[in-house]
Amino acid sequence: MDRVALRGLKARGHHGVFPKEREEGQTFIVDLVLGLDTRPAAADDDLAKTVHYGIVAEEVVAVVEGEPVNLIETLAERIAQACLKHEGVEEVEVRVHKPDAPITVPFDDVTVTITRSRV
C-alpha cells in the first residue's frame, strides 16, 4: 500500500472537558497518513485516480473547527472516518496534537494516534 501524508494541519477547535477549553478554544494540529494504491493515478497522471489531499485537508480542518467533543480520541475518530469516505483510501493513521492541553507541569505536546481501515 502506498502512503500520502499530510503533516501539521492547524485549526482552532473548542474540544476538551473543561469549560475554559470549550469557551476559549485552542489550536489543534493534525498529521495524516492515508493508505491507498497510487499506481492507477501515476500510470495515467490523473488526479481523479488518487486522493485529492487538498480536499482532505479542508475536510479535516472543518472537523476540528466543528462540533466540540470532550476527548481528542473522539476527534481523531471523526477525522479518520472523514478520510475513509474518500474512494481509494483503504486506511488512515491520524495523529491529533493538543500542544496547549491544560496540564500543570512543563510539557511539549500531547498526542493521540489511531489507525483505522475499511472493514
Tell me, letter by letter, the H, E, C secondary structure of 80-104.
Answer: HHHHHCCCCCCEEEEEEECCCCCCC
Answer yes or no: is pLDDT of 68 > 80. Answer: yes
pLDDT band at 86 (very low <50, low <70, confident <90, very high): very high
Answer yes or no: is pLDDT of 119 > 80. Answer: no
pTM of the model: 0.95
The percent of residues in the chain predicted with pLDDT above 70, rounded, is 100
d(CA 51, CA 116): 17
d(CA 100, CA 110): 8
Domain count for the chain, please give it: 1
What is the pLDDT at residue 24? 96
98 is catalytic: yes
Domain range holding 102?
A: 2-117
Q: CATH number for the domain including 78? A: 3.30.1130.10
pLDDT in tens, 101-111: 999 999 999 99
Give me the chain's average pLDDT, please: 97
What is the pLDDT at residue 32? 98
Dihedral in degrees, nearest 10, Cα atoms 81, 90, 33, 94: 30
Kindly give the pairing relationship between strand 2-13 and strand 111-117. Answer: unpaired
The percent of residues in the chain predicted with pLDDT above 90, rounded, is 98
d(CA 1, CA 60): 22
